[in-house]
Amino acid sequence: MSFEKNKKKIDKILELTQERVADEVGGLMGATMSMSDLSTRLISKEDFFDERSGKMIFSEMQLSGEIEGDGCILVSVKDAIRLGGTLIMLPENELDESVSSEDYSEEIEDSYGEIANIIAGAYTKTFEEMYSKNFRFIRKKLEIITPVKVDVESDKPIPNQNYYQVSSAMTLNDAVMGNLTLLIPAEAFGLDEKTSVSENVATENTAIEDTEVASGTTATDETGKSQKDITGNDQTEDETISSEKAPPAPENTFDVKKQKKRVDACLKECSVRMADEVGAMLGAEVQLTEHATRIVNKEDYFFDEVSGKQVLAHMDVTGDKEGKSYLYIGLKDAIFIGGTLIMLPPSELDVQMSQEEFGDDTEDAYGEITNIISGVYTKVFEELYLDKIRFIKTNLEQVVPMKVDAESEEPMPDVLYYMTTSKVTIGDKGLGNLQMLIPLDILKLEALTQEAAADDAPEQERTKGTVSGKVTSDGHSSSLPGAKQSGDAAQNPEFLLVSNADNACSNITAVLNERGIAYKILDYKENVSDYLPGDVKAVFLVMSVVDEQGLGVAIKISSSSALPLIAVGADWTRTKVIKAVKYGVDDILLSPASSDDIIQKIESVQAKMAA
């Protein structure tokens, strides 16, 4: 049977199995249960656990008979509690409390274990009726697992291989729940597509080889020459390609993209739990929506991200990584939250908000809410994160963004932060954003700035010895639109242009071409010191955006040479100018610069060098 036909058949069996699971589990509990939105796909152990957040109940499923292997059933802790609690007929209010607090008691564990047995039985019955091979699904041990802490290389809790993932959304009575997920060994069911393709190719190759041996012929390429004629030896084409492959990457290379996924999963879970726990404390429905994460620096945060007075909750970070994090919310929003906690009458609360009166009682109440939030962050990171870190709220202060000096250490240092932001709604009241800023180094996300630099670089990397960037097959450089290559530019440039955007250099290159001045354009990633000093008279640092990445390049350039460094950009502020000068920039040029301005800078440099 072909791979596609086999997959289609098994998917149909799985669809019918989900219906049986819903009927039998619902019947066991005396409740209405439905399974919807069935999805199936091939997935590796690593990718599966990378995509999960929050604690899960792992039920080992052993396959025994004509098909053997190990799989599992997985649900969230909350869903296991709701299923198990419903089976033992917990009162509704007690069940809701157990779900909210994730109280996975021994009694609930036993009852959920019975449900897992029913699920295994439903799979066994359906496959016995409809599948060609006889085997059984046997439910073994139950345990709580934390996906981010699973060691992919080990055989725990399941072997490191490809699985066929089967997921369905659960609804129990009127309660909408998460997914019930089953993982079965893909290869055992002929569902590992990569293996199937490899086997087919191997079979085809063997058939070809057998035919060639029988006929006494030699494989030829399109020109009719044998591999021996082309390479000079008996090496096969596959071997030739293999020998030219780049060496494998080091095994211990830190993968910042996976780290970002882990961090984002933790921060998303923090948002979910904060809504639950703050809502429970306020006695109101709290929603945190429009959740997003991104990198910000201090200046951009206070000038672009927030406006109006803010209440800042300082939080110490302790444990495997130490430092500080910062929780911000608008002053009026903090007053509303604190006033709601101490049950101020609506009219009085409205007055305090309009007058921005953050009295002692309201401040203390909001402080209690931030204690809850720091506790949520601590609990989530302890459960889901690899490093052990804790968040401890220390003090509150009011901050006026436009009065913040980006160069100072107050109210927080001028470093890069990973910001998570969510829009707050309490009851029917829409508030502003709640934002947590954590330094990149605490979360091991510093390399994200390098990833961003690579993404911003031109698609065609410039190579050494060229004027414009594209290199033709004969080794000569081709020109950017509007640029004219100077005869000795490749060997003796007078000016270096270091940039992360070709178009940003066009005004400068036009002037240099007009005057017959040799130059080279380099990318941020290239090593400027390889071209210095030579005959270079000055360096233009051309930034599409004046940011930490560009100013970091300024530091590298100034540390490589004492030549004049002219920084070009469009969004200069007083703070950025001061920082640029501190980083070694000698002159500033506002873009888009006129030809006269560019000529003035060039002539000024030439005059200084001549003197």
Q: Which of 141, 174, 193 is the last residue of a domain?
A: 193
Statement to judge: residues 160 and 11 lie in one domain: yes
Whether residue 237 lies inside any domain: the answer is no
Does residue 571 sit within a domain?
yes
- In the chain, the number of structural domains is 3
Long-range contacts at 158-161 (CB < 8 A, ≥ 24 apart):
158/45, 158/60, 158/70, 158/71, 158/72, 158/183, 159/45, 159/70, 159/185, 160/45, 160/46, 161/44, 161/45, 161/185, 161/186, 161/187
Q: What is the pTM of this model?
A: 0.52
Of 446, 470, 495, the residue that ends a domain is: 446
| Residue 150 φ/ψ region, left for φ over 0, alpha for ψ in the -120 to 50 degree band, beta for the rest | beta
Same domain for 286 and 307?
A: yes
Q: How confident is the model at residue 390 (pLDDT cuts 50, 70, 90)?
A: very high
User: In this structure, which amino acid lies at residue 258?
Assistant: K
Mean pLDDT over each residue of the chain, to the nearest integer: 81
pLDDT at residue number 471: 30
Q: Are residues 316 and 264 in the same domain?
A: yes
Within-domain flag for 166: yes
- Which has the minimum average pLDDT: 113-127, 133-147, 219-233, 285-299? 219-233
Whether 31 and 90 share a structural domain: yes
Are residues 267 and 400 located together in one domain of the fold? yes
269-321 pLDDT tens trace: 999 999 999 999 999 999 999 899 999 999 889 988 888 899 999 999 999 99
349 and 461 in a common domain: no
CATH number at residue 139: 3.40.1550.10
Average pLDDT over residues 569-595: 82
Higher pLDDT, 482 or 336: 336
Could you tell me the pLDDT band of residue 213, with boundaries at 50, 70 and 90? very low
What is the C-alpha to C-alpha distance for residues 84 and 107, in angstroms, rounded to an integer? 8
Query: Does 271 share its domain with 312?
Result: yes
- Asked if residue 122 and residue 47 are part of one domain, the reply reads yes
Range of the domain at 163: 3-193
